[in-house]
Structure 1
Amino acid sequence: MDAKTAIKDIKQGKISPIYVLYGSEKFRMNEFAELLEGQLIAKEDRDFAVIPFDLSETPVQSIVEEAETVPFMVERKLLLVRDASLFTAGKENAKLEHRIDILSEYLQHPTDFSVIVFMVNNDKLDERKKIVKAVKAAGTVLAFNPLGAEELLRWVEKGIRDRGCTTAPGTAEALITSAGTGLQGLSAEMDKLCLFAGTGGTVNAAAVESLVHRGTEENIFTLVEDIANLRLDKALNTLNELLKQREEPIKIAALVARQFRIILQVKDLSGHSYSQGQIASQIGLHPYVVKLAGEQAHKFTSERLRQILSALADLDYQMKTGAIDKVLGLELFMLRLGA
């Protein structure tokens, strides 16, 4: 089952007694837990019907004991259990003894008045463990992995609509380019943009440009994009902005090299018929970043990219040995690249 199906079931009143949420998208995991909480527990009852736990501090048998205890004054209670590493291949906390057998017994006959949500901060579960097989049989296991490129765009557009605003064409792309792919950061920026636009207003790329602060990595991406399109005046302006923010020139050069290395990797893997998702998994990047790198890759040959990386390696050596002024070295590199 995927998260969308599980959410649909929850809204229809089909609640699983056990949920195991895992993956790298903590923001979406928290969103799911909040939705479940909103469906299960009345707002005025949440202080004593929603019980948080942390398995780094509490043994799992204590959680089972709480789940088996009849709730007071409410029909159901929700147990939110974080740091559930007992489902992964990582080492468990040596200070605590987790009685997995007690949890396994509970899974065979879970109570109808408690819902347990285990939140696992890991990209995958250890399928070899009996407890993982048991929880899959008794409950609902959901993966929260990074959204694909198109999914992320739709997520941003929906987020702005849900806040009572509309989006002009290109707004979602502009926001992701400026704020990055982190859902927590994007959510905060959407709050800001919709507050600025007002209910029923339109959020556009101009508002993103004026209101959303770009991080260093986002500025580097824009700088490389401007170089690729021979917009040297804009590239130099971005470089000056980075320098005004007191970014070290050697760090800027290293990040530029990293971006060109990503472009080369994406180009090479695309040439071997890898999909965006496969490339993202292979090189450990968000699918949307891979999509943008793929667009940049069309503007260079593989040989040209290797030449640029070689030139950046030479520049790094010259900057670190004092053979060239750092800022001047960066400016000359960009001018030669544009030429």
Structure 2
Amino acid sequence: MTAADILKDLKNRKFKPLYLLHGEEPFYIDQVSNYVEHQLLSDAEKGFNQTVFYGKDTDLMSVLNSSKRYPMMADYQVVLVKEAQDMKWGKDDEDKKSINPLLAYLENPLPSTILVFCYKYGKFDKRKKTYKAIEKNGLIFESATLYDNKVPGWIESYITGKGYRINQHASAILAEYLGNDLSKIANELEKLMLNISAGQEITLEHIQNNIGISKEYNVFELQTALCQKNAFKVNQIINYFEANPKANPIVLVLGNLNNFFSKVLACHYVKDRSNLAREIGVNPYFVKDYEQAARSYDYGKTMNIISYLREYDLKSKGVDSNAEDGALLKELMFKILH
């Protein structure tokens, strides 16, 4: 099931006695967790029937004792364990001398309790008996990290779901700058939409005015200028970066360029160019840029550029250099272009 499927069931009052929400991407785990915490019970019911634990501040027996209680003046009680990855789960094994209390409860959960574990920033071990017991008697949702090439599409879908529109170029710029942290992206999009009338198309101008990403002088445009070996444009952009270091920190610039040229290097290994976007993991909208970059920089030069990027990453951190970030970027651009 997707997070949307789970939320739909919760809204329709179709509950499971056990939920395990786990995975590298916290956005969907938080989305379901927030609904469970704030919407499942009425304010009057929450006082006696809702308990919220935090993994590092609780223990297994406290969670189980709460889970075994019956609801008061309500059909259900909710037990929510946030940051469950920090909780000590105990031994997973059973033997004749002792009974695993967690496993015993998971094998026979109380139907009137909704017990939710939010296990973030990693996957729960699927080999464990606890996992299999939850899978058998409840519901498990894995929130996987979104691949970089899928982020622009996710942005477009999120915007559409809120009643707005956004063009591909604008969504790609946002993805390029914000990365694949969905919580961060959603937060920026929510702030952006506060300043735009519902139904409007979000443009680069909106992004520039509200998020601070220049539509002309950004890492994406720098990549395009490097593809074209347009030294004049490259220097214009680098001068802008030097004048606006907080908006364009060198660590962000180097990280994006390293990601870009790593994919350019991958282009040199792809024999069947008909599926290039899928092979190197980029949005099809930008395939032409990577193809042009691969033509502009042969395999050997691309390898050198990646080496330069690592060298200047170290220099930006003070290794064998005390130069300002702007000067380092200018040196780096010269080496890339020549």
Normalising by structure 2, we get a TM-score of: 0.75
Task: Measure how far apart 1:261 and its partner are.
Answer: 5.5
Distance 1:294 1:144 in 2: 28
Distance 1:325 1:159 in 2: 39
Distance 1:29 1:222 in 2: 34
Distance 2:80 2:112 in 1: 14
Question: Does 2:58 correspond to 1:58?
Answer: yes
Where does residue 173 of structure 1 map in the other structure? 172
Distance 1:326 1:149 in 2: 27
Distance 1:252 1:152, change over 3 A: closer
Task: Measure how far apart 1:117 and its partner are.
Answer: 0.8
Task: Measure how far apart 1:15 and its partner are.
Answer: 1.4
Asked if the contact 1:77/1:113 (under 8 Å) is kept, the reply is yes
Question: Does 2:131 correspond to 1:135?
Answer: no
Distance 1:235 1:103 in 2: 60
Question: Does 2:308 correspond to 1:307?
Answer: no
SS at match of 2:73: coil
Where does residue 106 of structure 2 map in the other structure? 107
Task: Measure how far apart 1:337 and its partner are.
Answer: 3.5
After TM superposition, the structure 1 stretch with the greater mean CA deviation from structure 2, 226-235 or 130-139, is: 226-235
The CA RMSD measured in Å over matched residues stands at: 4.2
Where does residue 71 of structure 1 map in the other structure? 71
Task: Measure how far apart 1:267 and its partner are.
Answer: 3.5
Unaligned runs of 5+ in 2: 91-97
Q: Which amino acid aligns with 1:27?
A: F
Distance 2:160 2:10 in 1: 23
After TM superposition, the structure 1 stretch with the greater mean CA deviation from structure 2, 204-213 or 268-277, is: 268-277
Distance 2:58 2:313 in 1: 50
SS at match of 1:15: coil
Where does residue 94 of structure 2 map in the other structure? none
Q: Which amino acid aligns with 2:127?
A: R
Task: Measure how far apart 1:250 and its partner are.
Answer: 8.0
SS at match of 1:19: strand
Distance 2:314 2:166 in 1: 46
Where does residue 154 of structure 2 map in the other structure? 155
How many residues align structurally? 321
Task: Measure how far apart 1:252 and its partner are.
Answer: 7.5
Task: Measure how far apart 1:128 and its partner are.
Answer: 2.7
Summarize the alignment of residues 1-339 of structure 1 with structure 2, pairs less than 5 Å apart: 1-37=1-37, 40-43=40-43, 45-46=45-46, 48-85=48-85, 92=88, 101-148=100-147, 152-168=151-167, 170-214=169-213, 219-220=218-219, 222-246=221-245, 255=255, 258-259=258-259, 262-263=262-263, 266-267=266-267, 296-298=289-291, 299-300=293-294, 301-312=298-309, 321=320, 327-328=326-327, 330-335=329-334, 337-338=336-337
Distance 1:253 1:183, change over 3 A: closer
Q: Which amino acid aligns with 1:305?
A: T
Asked if the contact 2:207/2:213 (under 8 Å) is kept, the reply is no
Q: Which amino acid aligns with 1:72?
A: M
Task: Measure how far apart 1:66 and its partner are.
Answer: 0.7
SS at match of 1:197: coil
Distance 1:121 1:228, change over 3 A: same
How much identity, in percent, do the aligned residues show? 21
Distance 1:180 1:132 in 2: 31
Distance 1:329 1:112, change over 3 A: closer
Normalising by structure 1, we get a TM-score of: 0.75
Asked if the contact 1:266/1:294 (under 8 Å) is kept, the reply is no
Q: Which amino acid aligns with 1:203?
A: I
Asked if the contact 2:51/2:78 (under 8 Å) is kept, the reply is yes
Asked if the contact 1:56/1:93 (under 8 Å) is kept, the reply is no
CA offsets 1:202-232 (integer angstroms, 9 cap, x no match) = 32222112221359xx954553343123344
Task: Measure how far apart 1:53 and its partner are.
Answer: 0.7
Q: Which amino acid aligns with 1:309?
A: I
Asked if the contact 1:148/1:277 (under 8 Å) is kept, the reply is no
Distance 1:235 1:184, change over 3 A: farther
Distance 1:295 1:144, change over 3 A: farther
Asked if the contact 2:18/2:138 (under 8 Å) is kept, the reply is yes
After TM superposition, the structure 1 stretch with the greater mean CA deviation from structure 2, 322-331 or 220-229, is: 322-331
Distance 1:236 1:209 in 2: 21
Task: Measure how far apart 1:143 and its partner are.
Answer: 0.5
CA offsets 1:49-96 (integer angstroms, 9 cap, x no match) = 432112322121211111111223332222111232389xxxx489xx
Task: Measure how far apart 1:305 and its partner are.
Answer: 0.4
Distance 1:158 1:321, change over 3 A: closer
